Every structure is written in C-alpha cells, then in structure tokens.
Structure 1
Amino acid sequence: MVHVREMDGADISAVSTIRVRGWQAAYAGIVPQTYLDAMTVEGDAVHRRHLFSQPRRQSRDLVALDERGPVGWICFGPCRSEMSGPGQVGEVYALYVSPDLIGQGIGRRLLEEAHTQMKSQGFEASALWVLSDNQRARRFYERAGYQADGAIQDDSYDEITLTELRYQRVLRVQGL
C-alpha cells in the first residue's frame, strides 16, 4: 500500500536516489551514457537540499511511500514557459518512481495528487515536458489525459541535442 505526503528535508537522500536511478533507467539509450554515468546521488542531494531550502520557492514536492520509505517523487508548481489560452497553468517539473516499481500505479497516484493540489491552487491546466524519444513516458502521460501541444525545446546532454515535447491537459473541477 502506497500513500502520498508532502516531502520533507529528511526525504532528500531517498528522493535523490529515486531521481538518479530513474534517469539512469528511463533514459538509457536516449541520453548519452556518459551523462547518465556521471550522475551521482550525492551530487543530486546537494543540489536538491539547496533547492528545498529556498524560502520563496514556488514548487511543491510530494513523495509516495511504502513500507521501505519513499519510492516515488513528483515536483510541480507554476508553469515556467509562456502558454497561450485562458487561466493559470501549472507544470509538472519532475516525476520519478523507483525503477523496480514502475507499472504498479505509483506514478499515477503521485500525478493524481499533484493535479488535485494544482486545482486547489487555482491552476486550470497542467503542462510538462517529455523527451520525444521517451515513448514509455509519453504513453503514460497520454493515458493520464495529456496531449502534445506542438511546442518543442532542445536540451543538450554531453554535446548531444535532444528534443523535448510539451504536453498539457485541462484540470477539471471534480464533478464536471
């Protein structure tokens, strides 16, 4: 049984492990292996502690827990890119699940809770970016109601440029 709660500082090491192992599993064959091999849990934890300690940070972090402790993490907040259309847009910045637990509904549970919290903050839609070659993630988000909206951006990893696609979905008020 998994439950979701707000992340706290004691979760940072576990979240960094989930994120780094998640990157290394999900992006193998997509992101250059040299980049993935250079990622460390310790380095990520230092960066995450810095982000987490910012007094004016607008992002929210949730963790999914089972009997082992944190097994999934999602980070979301206001959309960082210009979006056309009515209403405020939130953004899912990151969503990772322990690689050995993918496919067990943990990511879906985290995403649902993030959507609930975004709606309570007044966001009418949610956006996210996904690597175009990450077919598994694209299918996951499409099943969750996201659609590619035509926006793209490029990111470089060890001098290799990869394209990301922006996806978005409407956050409907429950009962409508």
Structure 2
Amino acid sequence: MAGAVRKASLEDVDEIGHVHYEAHVQTYSGIFPEGVIESFPATERAKMWTRFLTANFGELWVAELEGRIVGFASTGPPREHPPVRDVELGSIYVLAAHHGSGLGQELLDVSLGGRGASLWVLDDNPRAHAFYARNGFSPDGTDKIDEHFGNVREIRMVR
C-alpha cells in the first residue's frame, strides 16, 4: 500500500507525539546529552502539537502508511527576527524504518510546495543536510546553540 500525506487533525496528535519521540530517539540518541530526549516524552509532545493546532501556529501534515502515521512536517511563520523567509519548516520527521521511502520528500513537497523557506537543522546531521541540499536549501552562515536540547549547535538553511 502506498503512503499518503494529508493535513493533520486533533485526532492525530497522540500518534504524532509518538512519532516525534521515536524519531528523536532514532536520530539523536548519542548526539543529544543523555536524558534530554526522555525529558520530553510522547505525551508531552502530543500536548505541544495540540496547542500548535488549536492556536493556529502554522500547518501540520502527516504521512500515513497502511493507516498508521509514520512521519510529519510542520510549517509556520519564522521564529527569528528579522525573518529571512516568509515561512519556516519547523519540523519534518519520518521513522527510520521508512527512510528512503519517498515519504519525507512528499511531506516536504506538500508542506512547502516550491516556496522559499528557512529551517534549522542540527549541525551534526549529514543525512538531513543532504536531503535539504537536494531540495534547494543551503546554509546561510547563521547558527545557534539550542539549549532546550542540551546545547547542540544548529545551522540555518534557506531556499
């Protein structure tokens, strides 16, 4: 069965919270300091996505495969001031078992279309850097330390 991307609803937030947590475990274990991922469990992530949707902070999309959410992406107004683009890709995650399936590409295409955007990505994430570069993003020389996730360095990419 082929995967599908659609706009998320409030009924999806528990699954999105689970995917968000599992994707962080799969992607950032050994990179984030011990305990950082666990300090933000799936239930708290689901609450965060509920607030995101109810407060209309942006758009939230899910990738489904065989009736299960296996990835998601969010877009919204840029969080930095002054903004370098009108929209920011706030997050995009696909569970590791579905890397290479095309669902990440579909999430990006549906959530952004051909629009210019900014995003922040972990400096130590070559897989993500390659994905974004294939999609026209490049580092603009701006970086920051993300204290929420254990003082990891992130870089901004734009297209």
TM-score, normalized by length of structure 2? 0.90
1:95 aligned to which of 92, 99, 106 = 92
Q: Which amino acid aligns with 2:139?
A: A
Kept after mapping to 1: 8 A contact 2:53/2:59: no
2:63 is the counterpart of 1:72: no
Q: Which amino acid aligns with 2:147?
A: S
User: Superposed, which structure 2 residues align to 1:12-23 within 5 Å?
Assistant: 12-23=13-24
CA distance in 2 between partners of 1:50 and 1:157 (Å): 18
2:129 is the counterpart of 1:138: yes
CA distance in 1 between partners of 2:109 and 2:152 (Å): 28
**Alpha carbon RMSD of aligned pairs, Å?**
1.7
2:155 aligned to which of 153, 165, 170 = 165
Kept after mapping to 2: 8 A contact 1:16/1:44: yes
Residues 109-161 of structure 1: CA distance to partner in whole angstroms, max 9, x if unpaired? 10011122xx6xxxx52110001011111111111111000111111247x42
1:151 is paired with a residue whose SS is strand
> Would you tell me which structure has more strand in proportion to its own residues?
1
State, as a whole percentage, how many aligned pairs show the same letter: 27
CA distance in 1 between partners of 2:19 and 2:133 (Å): 23
**How many pairs does the alignment contain?**
157
Structure 1 runs (4+) greater than 4 angstroms displaced: none
Gaps of 5+ in 1: 170-176
Kept after mapping to 2: 8 A contact 1:16/1:41: yes
Partner of 2:101: 104
Q: Which amino acid aligns with 2:156?
A: R
Point out the structure with max Rg over C-alpha: 1
Gaps of 5+ in 2: none
Q: Which amino acid aligns with 1:111?
A: L
